[in-house]
């Protein structure tokens, strides 16, 4: 199928980034969320990002206007009826994902692919909410979407090879490199590599081996990472990090390495979720 219009469900930090890069690639984009205020905030964030690009000379004001003109927002799921490809970027919880996919299955054409931006949840289980499991695929982008080059294209148990190929092709047209995750495993490739190094960083801190500042510095200067583990956890959100930890512990109980840090749990309970709340491992209000 020739994909010309992409539907994006959710306009949080991931959804707005996906909508932006899709529009930048020339796709018409229809973004659906539950509330007009949320949609306005998401569009405002896209506008701010593009304004900086104009200031830096990376695009013209006319190009920015044309890009924004390709993004339509709505609170009505029925407005996704005519899109050619879906990328869902809703809240990272299985019950939420399955509710969204049941709705999408009802309103969209049977032949289109339903993609999910989940970072760790089972594609196979999400697909059970639809009557087209062969058309459900993981499309895991990375934050911030306009800057990160990777998309994990994840195969569910019943996902067809044509669906995987179409997911990879859409990612390519959006200017991304893709990797195929051939088996539907918890947290796929990147998070299976990343979460253990977060856990080890927290163990180093809790046992007094080093400060979080020095652990971050060591990762950046010794491993050439752009951000240290505590900085990265704050950037992505401690609540998301804890959720992925707990999901891996539930799904892979035989592997004790997934045990969540007590300090991480307490920070989340205190509402200190990282940059988005002004404080996490670090205080961003200073």
Residues annotated as catalytic are 119, 140, 152, 191
Structure tokens at 69: 């003109």
Element (H, E) at 47: helix 36-55
Report d(CA 17, CA 200) in Å as an integer.
30
Where does the chain show beta strands of DSSP type E? 5-9, 28-32, 71-74, 85-88, 113-116, 136-140, 150-155, 177-181
Distances (CA, A) of 135 to 105, 187, 240, 260: 10, 20, 27, 34
Q: Residue 133 phi/psi, 5° resolution? A: -60, -25
Distances (CA, A) of 81 to 72, 99, 120, 163: 14, 17, 27, 19
Structure tokens at 54: 């104009």
Q: Residue 116 phi/psi, 5° resolution? A: -125, 135
Query: Which residues neighbour 57 within 8 Å (Cβ) at sequence distance 6 or greater?
Result: none
């Amino acid at each position: 199928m020739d994909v010309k219009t992409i539907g994006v469900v959710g306009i949080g930090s991931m959804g707005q980034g996906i909508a932006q890069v899709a529009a930048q690639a020339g796709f018409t984009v229809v973004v659906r969320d539950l509330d007009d205020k949320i949609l306005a905030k998401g569009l405002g964030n896209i506008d701010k990002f593009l304004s900086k690009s104009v200031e830096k000379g990376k695009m013209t004001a006319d190009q920015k206007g044309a890009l924004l003109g390709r993004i339509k927002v709505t609170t009505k799921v029925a407005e996704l009826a005519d899109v050619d490809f879906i990328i869902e970027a809703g809240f990272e919880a299985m019950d939420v994902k399955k509710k969204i996919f049941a709705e999408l299955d009802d309103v969209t054409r049977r032949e289109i692919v339903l993609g999910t931006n989940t970072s760790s949840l089972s594609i196979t289980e999400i697909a059970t909410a639809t009557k087209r499991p062969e058309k459900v695929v993981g499309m895991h982008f990375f934050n911030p979407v306009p800057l990160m080059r990777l998309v994990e294209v994840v195969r569910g148990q019943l996902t067809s090879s044509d669906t995987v190929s179409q997911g990879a092709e859409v990612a390519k047209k959006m200017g991304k490199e893709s990797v195929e995750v051939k088996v539907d495993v918890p947290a796929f490739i990147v998070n299976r590599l990343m979460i253990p190094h977060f856990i080890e960083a927290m163990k180093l801190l809790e046992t007094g081996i080093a400060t979080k500042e020095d652990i971050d510095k060591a990762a950046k200067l010794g491993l050439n990472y752009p951000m240290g583990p505590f900085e990265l956890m704050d950037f992505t959100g401690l609540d998301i990090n804890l959720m992925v930890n707990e999901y891996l512990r539930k799904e892979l109980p035989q592997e004790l390495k997934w045990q969540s840090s007590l300090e991480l749990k307490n920070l989340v309970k205190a509402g200190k979720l990282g940059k988005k709340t002004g404080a996490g491992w670090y205080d961003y209000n200073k």
